[in-house]
Structure 1
């Protein structure tokens, strides 16, 4: 049986998340650059790059960019976006990235962490980030949801239309995870159902995992406006730091 993330990031994902735009990614990257403080020409890895919005913005700001994602469908969209081939796109699992070189920075954005049931598997991702960073200077950004905010503001059910499609989303928290079930219904066809899951790690636990992986946190922001992280109010939990040693 396939894991949820092997099924969910296909053609229907493009329908469910079509509202994500390039301008938003551009503004987020603009802020990330201030946090990373890297010179133009630095090599940046976008780990779990999806459709490539942030990767392309990073390129536009003058970086050499590599985007890695498991989904062939999303990488095909990235290639469409990158008609001139400015970014190197690779298919791979974030627990075992098919690269041997190191980077000036690794970014992992839009809650592309916590996909696996076992803590050990999620920590493998952090060890890969450490491995892929240049010793002594490699920096990272991990943009993750704020679990306290998620628990307090979870919307159990929502429904919307996209053309002739109806998209229903049910959300719940169980077994230390936030889980979403997505049902897509089109006229005269069977409903298509997908699952999404992210393990909920609080700030202290996340920092401990990063430290075990050889990564040091220098700042935790609550959003892309560089607001200080507030457990009750922040929607995001954005870790910025560097490789130890």
Structure 2
């Protein structure tokens, strides 16, 4: 049986998340640059890069970028957006990055964005991801994990919604159970078969994430509640954007 993320991050993902554009990614990258204060030509790993929106914006900002994702379809889309091959695109599970000199202690920064964390059933599997971030970073290297705020998500959960994208109807229903937020997605349209997907992400408090980061040797420098640099507030912040270092 395939894991949910192996099915969900396919061609329909490009439709479901079409509203995520390059302009928004560029604005977020500008904030990340200000937080990290990295010099030009620093090496940055975009872990779970998806279609490559942030990776491309990071290259535009003057960095040497590697994008890693498990989905061959999303990586194909990313490569199509990078005709000059300015980025190294690598297909890999985020729990087990390539064991070579280009990954081991090679990066000045690692970014993990758009809630690309918490995909797995067990804490031990999420810890593998954090260990990979630690191992990929040079000593003193920095990281950003852009994750949802569990408390805010629970309080403001939209149980159901429907929208139309390119004649396709996208119906989303959400619930929280056993410490996970789950989204069921139905995509249907006049010229296609109906498809169904599940997204399931574990909800972590800041205290728990801090504990997990410390366990693998990563330290937190700051936590923001959004990309406007507002301080993180457990009740009012929509995001939990953690910056830190090895």
Distance in 2, Cα, partners of 1:170 & 1:99: 39
Q: 2:83 aligns to what?
A: 83
Root-mean-square deviation (CA, aligned residues, Å) is 1.0
Q: 1:200 matched to which residue of 2?
A: 203
Helix, strand or coil for the counterpart of 2:211? helix
How many angstroms does 1:98 deviate by? Answer: 1.5
1:162-173 equivalences under 5 Å are 162-173=165-176
Q: Please, which of 88, 104, 107 is the counterpart of residue 103 of structure 1?
A: 107
> Which residue of 211, 220, 225 corresponds with 2:228?
225
Shift of 1:190: 3.9
Pick from 184, 189, 198 the counterpart of residue 186 of structure 1.
189
Give the alignment of 1:206-221 within 5 angstroms. Answer: 206-221=209-224
Q: Which residue is 1:114 aligned to?
A: 118
SS at match of 1:208: helix
* Structure 1 gap ranges (5+): none
**Shift of residue 188, structure 1, vs aligned partner:** 6.5
Deviation by residue 1:218-240 (Cα, 9 ceiling, x = unmatched): 10000111110011111100110
Deviation at 1:148, TM superposition (A): 0.5
SS in 1 for 2:35: helix
What does 1:38-57 correspond to in 2, within 5 Å? Answer: 38-57=38-57
- What is the alpha-carbon distance in structure 2 between the residues aligned to residue 174 and residue 76 of structure 1? 34
How many residue pairs are counted as aligned between the two chains?
A: 242
Q: How does 1:20-31 map to 2 (within 5 A)?
A: 20-31=20-31
- Unaligned segments of structure 2, at least 5 residues: none
Aligned equivalents of 2:85 and 2:19: distance in 1?
24
Q: Which among 175, 178, 186 is matched to residue 178 of structure 2?
A: 175
* Partner SS for 1:138: strand
TM-score (norm 1): 0.97
**Cα distance in 1 for residues equivalent to 2:166 and 2:124:** 41
State the match for 2:156 in structure 1. 153
Using the TM superposition, give the Cα deviation of residue 164 of structure 1 relative to its aligned residue in structure 2, in angstroms: 2.5
Q: Secondary structure at the match of 2:107?
A: coil
Secondary structure at 2:38's aligned position in 1? coil
SS of alignment partner, residue 207 of structure 1: helix
Supply the distance in 2 between the matched residues of 1:173 and 1:25 (Cα, whole angstroms): 28
Secondary structure of the 2:243 match is strand
**How many angstroms does 1:189 deviate by?**
4.9
Question: Does residue 127 of the first structure (1) align with residue 143 of the second (2)?
Answer: no
Q: Which residue number corresponds to residue 94 of structure 2?
A: 94
Q: Distance in 1 between matches of 2:191 and 2:241?
A: 43
